[in-house]
Structures are given as C-alpha cells and as structure tokens.
C-alpha cells in the first residue's frame, strides 16, 4: 500500500501498548503521520519517538481531554484521515452475581462512551477530506462468554455504535467499521485468562488451549500485528466500499 498513505494522518487511542502500538507502528511504516494517545505518558512517548509521531495524553472518558486530543492533531498536522479507537480497559472478570458496579461503570465509560466521544470530535475533521473510523471491538461482542458479561456488553454496544454511525456519516465520505479480534497474544490476554481461570476453577493454560487454540481453524492465537494489518486494510482504498462491517480476526474460532 506504501506511498498511497504518505501525508495522511491517523489518531490511535490506546496507542502506547499492545494492539494499539502495533497499529501505530504499521501505519507509520506505511507513510502515515500518527498521533498516539493514552493515559500513561511513558509508553506513549516511547512509541511516538520510535515512529516520529505525536504523543498526547488523554483519558477518552473525559470529553475535555478528547477535545484537546483532536485539537492537538489538527494543530500539528492540519488534517485527519483515520481514527483507530483502541483505548479500553479489561473491566471486571467475575460472574454476574458478583458484579462490581464501579468496575462496570468504568469499563462502559472508557470502552463505549469514550469511543463515542472520540467519534464526535473526530468527525468534523474527517469531513474535510473523508476518511475512516476503525473501532477495535472483540468476538465477545458477537458471542457472550462466561465471567465476561461487562466486556461482552460493552463490545456488543460498540458494534451497534459502529453500524449506526456508519449511516450517519457515510454521505460525508467517512467509513466506519469495527475489527473483532479473538484471543490476541500479549500480557493483557494472559492476565485476563488467569483471572477467568481462577473464577472457573481451572488453569490459564487449559483455558487458552480448550477455548481458543483447539476450537480455532488455525489452531493458534492471533498476533497483534495481524490485527494491525486488518486495520490498515480498512483504512485503505481497497476497502472503499466497506462500511458498517464487523471484521472478525480470530483464526477461525467463531
């Protein structure tokens, strides 16, 4: 895809670690100028230095901070072409009977309201030249999972938001899609599975093997870079007729 992206600008929330960092690196390598955002300064600065990008600290659940994020992008680069809404928190891992309401509220504020706020403040910039909004969802937004009701609920909500907004902004040349990864390698995934295993009375290794690797067509987990490649495709002209879609990237597990 290469030179087709030279001079274009992308904002990646949750861009300091994991999937977000991989997306930032790939987009920068393909010619994008990238703004990475998140709540922790150190990982953001590290990624931004690596890709010659811009780091902006922002909590996406705070509208003033979201407004400042997109204002900083506009001031630095004068345009916006792609937004990747990746910022998220794990939320409670427990049965519904043991639900922690505070944890539920925090997860919804960041993973659903935060995405909506980013879209709200990105759209005026995207309207100038058209562009792409890519929401990082999950296969848990397509099928529920025991002990992860808060996570599933917010990902189902995110998928609904994706499809609704696609119809609002399509006439402005803005496409809106979601990627639904499943079982992506990394520290966050391992920690989540360890927490689930404790609740379910098994081991993380057994859970990963029986619920992720063995049921998948490819018999393995997803790599963060594979999610990044899917995001790059959705941002490209190769996906020019694709909007309101939920792209599953899970090695053929659901």
Per residue in 6-20, pLDDT tens? 789 999 999 999 999
Given the residues 61, 132, 137, 152, the one annotated as active site: 137
CA dist., res. 234 & res. 248, Å (int): 12
| Burial tier of 56 (Cβ tally within 10 Å: 0-12, 13-18, 19+) | buried
CA dist., res. 217 & res. 114, Å (int): 34
Q: How many residues does the chain have?
A: 254
Domains of the chain by range and CATH?
Answer: 2-183+223-244 (3.40.50.720), 185-221 (no CATH)
Q: Which range among 125-139, 152-166, 169-183, 202-216 shows the weakest confidence by mean pLDDT?
A: 202-216
Given the residues 151, 192, 212, 216, the one annotated as active site: 151
Per residue in 167-226, pLDDT tens? 999 999 999 999 999 989 988 888 888 888 888 889 989 989 998 999 999 999 999 999
> Tokens in use for 35?
């703004």
Q: In what order do the strands lie in the sheet with 174-181?
A: 54-57, 33-38, 9-13, 82-85, 131-136, 174-181, 246-249
155 catalytic? Reply is yes
More confident residue, 92 or 140: 140
DSSP 8-state symbol, 146: T
Is there a contact between 52 and 64 (Cβ–Cβ < 8 Å)? no
User: Of the candidates 113, 115, 100, 114, which has an alpha carbon nearest to the alpha carbon of residue 150?
Assistant: 100
198 catalytic? Reply is no
Radius of gyration of the chain (CA): 17
The three-class DSSP label of residue 132 is strand
CA dist., res. 135 & res. 161, Å (int): 9
- ∠ at Cα 92 (88, 93), nearest 5°? 115
The mean of the pLDDT values for the chain is: 93
151 catalytic? Reply is yes
Q: Which range among 3-17, 118-132, 170-184, 224-238 shows the weakest confidence by mean pLDDT?
A: 3-17
Given the residues 138, 140, 152, 155, the one annotated as active site: 155
Is there a contact between 11 and 122 (Cβ–Cβ < 8 Å)? yes
């Amino acid at each position: 895809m290469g030179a087709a992206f030279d001079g274009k600008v992308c904002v990646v929330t949750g861009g300091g670690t994991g999937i977000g960092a991989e997306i930032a690196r790939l987009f920068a390598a393909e010619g994008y100028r990238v703004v990475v955002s998140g709540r922790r300064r150190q990982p953001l600065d590290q990624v931004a230095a690596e890709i010659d990008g811009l780091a902006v600290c922002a909590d996406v659940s705070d509208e003033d901070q979201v407004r400042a994020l997109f204002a900083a992008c506009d001031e630095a680069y004068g345009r916006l072409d792609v937004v990747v809404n990746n910022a998220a928190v794990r939320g409670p891992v427990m049965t519904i009977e043991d639900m922690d309401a505070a944890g539920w509220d925090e997860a919804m504020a960041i993973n659903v309201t935060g995405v909506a706020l980013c879209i709200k403040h990105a759209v005026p910039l995207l309207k100038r030249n058209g562009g792409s909004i890519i929401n990082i969802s999950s296969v848990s937004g397509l099928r529920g999972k025991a002990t992860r009701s808060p996570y599933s609920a917010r990902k189902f909500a995110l998928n609904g938001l994706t499809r609704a907004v696609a119809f609002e902004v399509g006439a402005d040349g803005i496409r809106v899609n979601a990627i639904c990864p499943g079982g992506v390698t990394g520290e966050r995934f391992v920690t989540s599975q360890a927490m689930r295993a404790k609740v379910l009375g098994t081991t993380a290794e057994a859970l990963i093997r029986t619920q992720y690797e063995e049921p998948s067509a490819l018999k393995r987990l997803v790599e963060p870079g594979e999610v990044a490649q899917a995001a790059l495709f959705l941002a490209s002209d190769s996906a020019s007729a694709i909007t309101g879609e939920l792209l599953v990237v899970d090695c053929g597990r659901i």
